């Protein structure tokens, strides 16, 4: 692309534009709004796992103090969208629709009362009777039932059996438990009907426009009659990419009691009601020549899904394109169980898939006695092995070098268990990560106000990465004006269309729109100024001279033909140094270095935070996180932060975030690609590989808890 942002090597970029609001508590999250006359909803969950409801006794709850309504399938008003033929409209689970129970904890009723405490108390008084049926919740016991959800789930190039003929082979199974997103902010919604066909919601969502259109379709009202506000979101990681049953319950509740209804999930609900990364079995068979060239790879995956939704992450897709290899077969299957639906969770697919592939590559490196980085370089893909297309930009070799230098890779011993320090075993590991780099359509307005302040508006959400900050950085550079004179408005369906914040697309997509709008706006000012203008116009002065209150442009940004020309990806390499206590099996991270090759870094401070956050999530994935179901009852038994472990500060070492920082102008005019997913993808394998290097013990089922090492 000839038209692109200048590549001045800027400073650290702006600090978070909403940082002060967040740390002082002034930033308002969905549950923090208080509307006049507001009532409170609390869900009642099924206590069986599969079967039917025969009766629900709501009398005690209905007569409890402050209760306004108890709604179940016995008295729920009709939800028009439930009858739609479009599966996207219905949503995966039709709440309060019939007597069927498809998972434990499934909402069977909502109690609405005049206070949260009264609703909570009354919810405990609701008693259901069931006709329970035998349930299946165990993935391993049901693996033979695995099926491919669609044709694309199975892939093959070359000869599937080729790996068997290779000089050196590895054939192993890898297990990932279910993981819960557990963002700090609980999922929450306030729903207020403004008229019979008009509604406003304050909702935790990754996409206000998607939530708007989904609610409109579900309740059969015009899309413009739905207002979605989601100004601040305290983390989501994929759990807020769809309209969930609790949101529908609040909207129904508000309709019934004719008051605004606030519904906040409990931490326990978070483990069952807003998706999770699915428990997944994988098998890798890999063969290489004696000099370390890959001959063939077979990667099979089977993940759990619910009985009412076909969901498959696609973990094995990474094996199609991470390395140059002529013979590759992959499959992504799913096993339907009597559980809630899984959903997208940070790095969906490759985060799971790289644990298997990059562990297997590490196993291969020891069998070949080739350094793991060297093995990866010998199989470096110069063009996309899957499509044959050139990459839009790939500088992964730089990433290997930067990371190896930073972590001190030369201190690593190729012999596992051979290095100790103060009685601890020392080990180093690496793993790569990859994720598609997309650019979604965005409409954005840029308005120069009379006082010289620039206002940018689009309906994107910010779930935490600091979108407004990065967008202000793009605008400041393009307009050549100070960042503190720029405001970026987001999180409201009233703004022009933007995609969901998901799939690491926002910086590329919205950033390009910001660039285009600012470029056009600057051009308009140049026209006003005419010849003889300075390089750095005083925008307020120009408006005044021309008697203008404001000057506005709208940019429509989307991907073009380049998507057919290039294979577009972001890459990462994670380097981990661990200490393992040989007596207790405790794993301590000593140092982590993450290197991202994701084009131009436009907001260095928030980019660094994004990489560190992903790395920490990966450390949790490697060492702690595991949602456990007691198969006798089909119930998640660690639906709280006492039993579901995530890393705390004491678990986290020095983490270095490094960037190759080479612009990729083939994908967009700002040269930037996503990093939200690649920050996590690969971390779990890097930790597992470091643990092997330290101990000689290969753990193929996450998390790597001490009992697996002693």
Q: Which is nearer to ligand MOS, 210 or 677 (CB)?
A: 677
The token duo for 155 is 């892939």
> How many residues bind ligand MOS, per CB under 6 A?
12
Sketch the per residue contact string, 669 through 708, with ligand MOS: x for CB under 6 A, - otherwise. -------xx-------------------------------
- Candidate ranges 342-350, 418-426, 464-472, 697-705; the one touching ligand MOS (CB under 6 A): 342-350
How far apart, in whole angstroms, are the C-alpha atoms of residue 157 and residue 296? 10
For residue 147, give the DSSP letter: B
Are the C-beta atoms of residues 236 and 181 closer than 8 Å to each other? Answer: yes
* Catalytic-labelled residue, pool 247, 313, 440, 677: 677
What are the φ/ψ torsions at residue 602 (nearest 5 degrees)? -95, -15
- Which listed residue (348, 353, 385, 634) binds ligand MOS by CB under 6 A? 348
**CB neighbours of 249 closer than 8 A, spacing ≥ 6?**
41, 43, 71, 95, 96, 107, 110, 263
The one segment of 128-136, 339-347, 449-457, 688-696 that binds ligand MOS by CB under 6 A: 339-347
Q: Cβ distance 437 to 569 under 8 Å?
A: yes
**Minimum separation from the CB atom of position 202 to ligand MOS (A):** 20
- Could you say which DSSP state residue 280 is in? E
Environment class of residue 483 by beta-carbon count within 10 Å: exposed (0-12), middle (13-18) or buried (19+)? middle
Taking the C-alpha atoms of residue 366 and residue 415, their distance in angstroms, rounded to an integer, is 8
Q: Which stretch binds ligand MOS (CB under 6 A): 68-76, 120-128, 134-142, 237-245?
A: 237-245
* Nearest CB to ligand MOS, comparing residues 181 and 259: 181
Instruction: Please report which residue ranges of 258-371 form alpha helices under DSSP H.
Output: 267-273, 318-321, 350-368
Dihedral over alpha carbons 385, 389, 390, 396 (to 10 degrees): -30
Nearer to ligand MOS, 345 or 513 (CB): 345
Q: Tell me the window of 47-55, 69-77, 345-353, 436-444 that interacts with ligand MOS (CB under 6 A).
A: 345-353
Residue closer to ligand MOS by CB (options 206, 639) is: 206
Between 604 and 676, CB nearer to ligand MOS:
676
Label residues 189-225 b or e (16+ Cβ within 10 Å = b): bbbbbeeeeebbbbbbbbbbbbbbbbbbbbbebeeeb
Of 571, 625, 628, 577, nearest in space to 595 by CA: 571
Other beta carbons within 10 Å of 40: 25
Q: Looking at beta carbons only, is 203 or 677 nearer to ligand MOS?
A: 677
* Nearest approach, Cβ of residue 437 and ligand MOS (Å): 12
* Subset of residues 101 to 130 that bind ligand MOS, contact rule: CB under 6 A: none
Radius of gyration for the alpha carbons in the chain, expressed in angstroms and rounded: 26
Instruction: By CB under 6 A, name the one of 96, 103, 244, 344 that touches ligand MOS.
Output: 344
Residue with CB nearest ligand MOS? 238
Q: Residues 21, 22, 25, 28: is their CA dihedral positive or negative?
A: positive
**Contact flag: residue 230 with ligand MOS (CB under 6 A):** no
Residue 255 and residue 77 in contact, taking contact as beta carbons nearer than 8 Å: yes
Q: Which range, of 51-59, 328-336, 343-351, 487-495, touches ligand MOS by CB under 6 A?
A: 343-351
* Residue 287 CB-density burial (10 A; 0-12 exposed, 13-18 middle, 19+ buried): buried
Q: Any idea which residue has 């967040």 for tokens?
A: 22
Q: How far apart are alpha carbons 306 and 288 in whole angstroms?
A: 38
Q: Which is nearer to ligand MOS, 103 or 237 (CB)?
A: 237
Q: Would strands 294-306 and 327-337 be described as parallel, antiparallel, or unpaired?
A: parallel
Residue 140 to residue 511: CA distance in whole angstroms: 44
Produce one character per residue of 436-474: b if its CB has 16 or more CB atoms within 10 Å, e if not: bbbbbebbbbbbbbeebbbbbbbbbbbbbbbbbbbbbbb
Smallest distance, ligand MOS to C-beta of residue 130, A: 34
Residue 138 phi/psi, 5° resolution?
-100, 120
Opening angle at CA 702, ends 701 and 705, nearest 5: 105
Min dist. Cβ of residue 192 to ligand MOS (A): 27
- Shortest CB 501 distance to ligand MOS, Å: 7
For residues 365 and 467, which CB has a smaller minimum distance to ligand MOS in the complex? 467
Spell out, one character per residue from 501 to 530, where the chain touches ligand MOS: x when CB under 6 A holds, - when not: -xx---------------------------
Q: Under the criterion CB under 6 A, does residue 241 sit at the interface with ligand MOS?
A: yes
Q: Report the alpha-carbon distance of residue 85 to residue 96 in Å, rounded.
A: 19
Which CB atom, from 274 or from 587, has the smaller least distance to ligand MOS?
274
Q: In this structure, are strands 261-264 and 188-195 parallel, antiparallel, or unpaired?
A: antiparallel
Q: Shortest distance, CB of residue 346 to ligand MOS, whole angstroms?
A: 5
677 noted as active-site residue: yes
Q: Does 467 bind ligand MOS (CB under 6 A)?
A: no
Nearer to ligand MOS, 463 or 567 (CB): 463
Q: How far is the CB of 238 from ligand MOS (least distance, A)?
A: 3
> What tokens appear for 449 in the block?
């106000």
Does 206 contact ligand MOS by CB under 6 A?
A: yes
Looking only at the bridges linking them, the beta strands covering 654-659 and 587-597 are parallel
Q: How far is the CB of 241 from ligand MOS (least distance, A)?
A: 6
Q: Which is nearer to ligand MOS, 606 or 693 (CB)?
A: 606
Instruction: Report how far residue 504's alpha carbon sits from residue 347's, in angstroms, rounded to the nearest whole number.
Output: 9
CA-to-CA separations, 89 to 94, 215, 219, 220, in angstroms, rounded: 10, 9, 10, 10
Stretch that binds ligand MOS, among 91-99, 235-243, 294-302, 561-569 (CB under 6 A): 235-243
Q: Which of 92, 238, 340, 427 binds ligand MOS (CB under 6 A)?
A: 238
What's the min distance (Å) between Cβ of 462 and ligand MOS? 12
* Strand residue runs (E) in 411-559: 420-421, 424-436, 442-449, 454-457, 486-489, 550-557
**Helix and strand counts by DSSP (H, E) for the chain:** 17, 26
Q: Least distance from C-beta 502 to ligand MOS, angstroms?
A: 4
> Rule CB under 6 A: is residue 204 a binding residue for ligand MOS?
no
Among 5, 111, 286, 345, binds ligand MOS (CB under 6 A): 345
Span interacting with ligand MOS, options 9-17, 236-244, 421-429, 512-520, rule CB under 6 A: 236-244
Q: How far is the CB of 95 from ligand MOS (least distance, A)?
A: 23
Binding ligand MOS (rule: CB under 6 A), the pick from 187, 346, 519, 522 is 346
CB of 575 to ligand MOS, least distance (A): 24
Least distance in angstroms from the C-beta of 347 to ligand MOS: 7
Stretch of residues binding ligand MOS (CB under 6 A), selected from 124-132, 167-175, 313-321, 341-349 = 341-349
Tokens at residue 345, please? 């969770």
Binding site for ligand MOS (CB under 6 A): 206, 237-238, 241, 344-346, 348, 502-503, 676-677
Give the catalytic positions in this structure. 677
């Amino acid at each position: 692309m000839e038209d692109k942002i200048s590549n001045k090597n800027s400073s650290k970029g702006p600090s978070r534009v909403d940082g002060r609001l967040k740390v002082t508590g002034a930033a308002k999250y969905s549950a923090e709004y208080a509307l006049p006359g507001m009532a409170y909803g609390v869900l009642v969950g099924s206590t069986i796992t599969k079967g039917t409801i025969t009766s629900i006794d709501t009398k005690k709850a209905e007569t409890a103090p402050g209760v306004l309504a108890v709604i179940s399938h016995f008295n729920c008003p009709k939800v028009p969208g439930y009858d739609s033929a479009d599966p996207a409209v219905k949503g995966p689970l039709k709440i309060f629709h019939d007597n069927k129970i498809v998972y434990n904890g499934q909402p069977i009723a909502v109690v609405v009362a005049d206070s949260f405490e009264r609703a909570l108390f009354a919810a405990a008084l609701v008693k259901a009777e069931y006709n329970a049926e035998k349930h299946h919740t165990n993935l391993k016991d049901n693996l033979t039932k695995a099926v491919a959800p669609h044709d694309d789930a199975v892939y093959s190039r070359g000869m599937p059996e080729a790996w068997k003929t290779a000089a050196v082979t590895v054939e192993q199974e890898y297990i990932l438990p279910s993981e819960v997103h557990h963002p700090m902010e609980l999922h929450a919604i306030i729903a207020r009907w403004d008229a019979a066909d008009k509604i406003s919601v304050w909702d935790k969502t990754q996409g206000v426009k998607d939530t708007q259109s989904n609610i409109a379709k579900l309740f059969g009202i015009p899309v413009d009659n739905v207002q979605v506000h989601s100004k601040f979101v305290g983390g989501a990681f994929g759990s807020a990419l769809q309209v969930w049953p609790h949101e529908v319950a609040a909207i129904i509740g508000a309709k019934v009691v004719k008051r605004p209804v606030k519904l906040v999930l409990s931490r326990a609900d978070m483990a069952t009601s807003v998706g999770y990364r699915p428990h997944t079995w994988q098998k890798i068979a890999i063969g290489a020549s004696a000099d370390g060239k890959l001959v063939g790879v077979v990667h099979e995956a089977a993940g759990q899904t619910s009985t009412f939704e076909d969901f498959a992450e696609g973990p094995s897709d990474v094996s199609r394109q991470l390395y140059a290899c002529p013979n590759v077969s992959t499959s992504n299957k799913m096993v339907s169980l009597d559980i809630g639906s899984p959903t997208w969770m940070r790095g969906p697919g490759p985060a799971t898939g790289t644990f298997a592939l990059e562990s297997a590559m590490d196993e291969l490196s020891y069998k070949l006695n080739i350094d793991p980085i060297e093995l990866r370089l010998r199989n470096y893909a110069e063009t996309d092995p899957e499509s044959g297309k050139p990459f839009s930009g790939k500088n992964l070799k730089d990433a290997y070098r930067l990371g190896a230098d930073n972590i001190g890779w030369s201190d690593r011993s190729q012999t596992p268990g051979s290095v100790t320090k103060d009685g601890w075993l020392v080990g180093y590991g690496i793993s790569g990560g990859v994720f598609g780099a997309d650019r979604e359509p965005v409409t954005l307005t840029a308005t120069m106000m009379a006082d010289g302040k620039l206002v940018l508006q689009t309906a994107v959400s910010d779930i935490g990465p600091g979108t407004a900050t990065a967008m202000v950085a793009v605008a400041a550079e393009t307009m050549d004006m100070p960042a503190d004179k720029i405001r970026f408005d987001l999180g409201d369906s009233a703004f022009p269309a933007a995609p969901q914040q998901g799939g690491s697309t926002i910086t590329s997509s919205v950033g390009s729109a910001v660039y285009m709008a600012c470029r056009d706006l600057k051009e308009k000012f140049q026209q006003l100024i005419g010849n003889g203008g300075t390089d750095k116009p005083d925008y307020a002065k120009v408006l005044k001279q021309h008697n203008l209150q404001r000057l506005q442009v709208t940019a429509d940004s989307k991907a073009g033909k380049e998507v057919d020309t290039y294979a577009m990806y972001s890459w990462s390499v994670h380097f981990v140094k661990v200490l393992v206590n040989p007596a207790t099996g405790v794993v301590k991270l000593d140092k982590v270095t993450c290197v991202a090759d994701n084009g131009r870094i436009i907001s260095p401070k928030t980019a660094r935070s994004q990489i560190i956050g992903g790395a920490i999530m990966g450390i949790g994935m490697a060492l702690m996180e595991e949602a456990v179901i007691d198969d006798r009852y089909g119930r998640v038994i660690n639906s709280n932060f006492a039993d579901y472990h995530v890393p705390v500060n004491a678990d986290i070492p020095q983490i270095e975030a490094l960037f190759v920082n080479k612009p990729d102008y083939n994908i967009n005019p700002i040269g930037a690609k996503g990093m939200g997913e690649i920050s996590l993808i690969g971390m779990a394998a890097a930790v597992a590989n470091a643990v092997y290097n330290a101990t000689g013990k290969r753990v193929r089922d996450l998390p790597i808890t001490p009992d697996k090492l002693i």
